[in-house]
Structure 1
Amino acid sequence: MRELLRRKKAGAQPLSLTFTKVNQVIRGWVNYFRISAMKYFLIKFSQWLRHKVRVVIIKQWKLPKRIYTNLMRINKALKCNISDEDIHKIANTRLGWYKRSTGHVINFLLSPKVLGISKADRPGLVDPLEYYLSRK
């Protein structure tokens, strides 16, 4: 999984390809290990996975201007009450990619609900815990 979500590798390929590969690995793991008790592991793994996917998405946007416009677009689509100033702070911060993706603004805008939405150009991200519980 770490190999799939490396910033260099995942940032250079389309998000649809990354999501497809990650979904295949998650489904394979859950189907293989579903007889064991792995609920606690999947809770922690789901958090880590969503964080790494947020890093890849922010890394693909690259420029502060593009990060700002995309976060504003998501903010308007979800009708959130996140201020322009907060989004501007996140877009123009000089923190690293991993640290930048820990903020509450990005965690709220790129929530599991948003990441799980399938679009025409990409599949939605499978939540490992929900998939595991549906297979039990």
Structure 2
Amino acid sequence: MRELTDRNKGISNETREKEYQEYVRGWVGYFRLADMKGLLKTTDEWARRRIRAVYWKQWKKVITKYQMLRALKLEHWKAMELAMSRKKYWRRSIALGSVITNKIIAKLGYTSMLDYYLTVCES
């Protein structure tokens, strides 16, 4: 999982999403008999934070960060504050949690491990 969400790995977002989906399906399929809701919940939170950091690094320039935050319907002053912050990717990914929500991450193609686990275990 750490390799898939590496910020320095030069792969496209589509490839990253595809590999992430394969990893989630394989991992949950292998461990579906175990009771691991708590582990998957914490792993999901960690993975989403890594995904937010990847997107934050891809935006690179301050103006790009500002434009993308405004496109996500963030207020002007808050978008300026986040875009011009000196904090690095991992630290900023905490603040991005309110902007790049779990729904947006799911829409981008990153399935929640816990949700997939619950669907596999129910059927």
Q: TM-score if structure 2 supplies the norm length?
A: 0.94
Tell me the residue number matched to 1:110.
100
Tell me the residue number matched to 1:3.
3
Give the distance between the partners of 1:21 and 1:57, measured in 2 at CA: 16
Across the aligned residues of Structure 1 and Structure 2, the Cα RMSD in angstroms comes to 1.0
Matched positions, count: 121
Q: Give the CA deviation at 1:112.
A: 1.1
Tell me the residue number matched to 1:44.
42
Q: Percent same amino acid among aligned pairs?
A: 30
Give the distance between the partners of 1:19 and 1:134, measured in 2 at CA: 20
Give the distance between the partners of 2:107 and 2:6, measured in 1 at CA: 22
Tell me the residue number matched to 1:121.
none
Q: TM-score if structure 1 supplies the norm length?
A: 0.85
1:98 aligns with 2:96: no
Provide Cα deviations, 1:4-31, integer angstroms capped at 9, x if missing partner. 111111xx22111111111110110001
Letter in 1 for 2:77: E
Q: Give the CA deviation at 1:83.
A: 2.2
1:134 aligns with 2:119: yes
Q: Give the CA deviation at 1:46.
A: 0.4
Letter in 2 for 1:32: Y
Provide Cα deviations, 1:96-131, integer angstroms capped at 9, x if missing partner. 11101111xx2122111011115xxxxx11110000
Tell me the residue number matched to 2:54.
56
Tell me the residue number matched to 1:71.
69
List alignment gaps of at least 5 residues for structure 1: 76-81, 119-123
List alignment gaps of at least 5 residues for structure 2: none
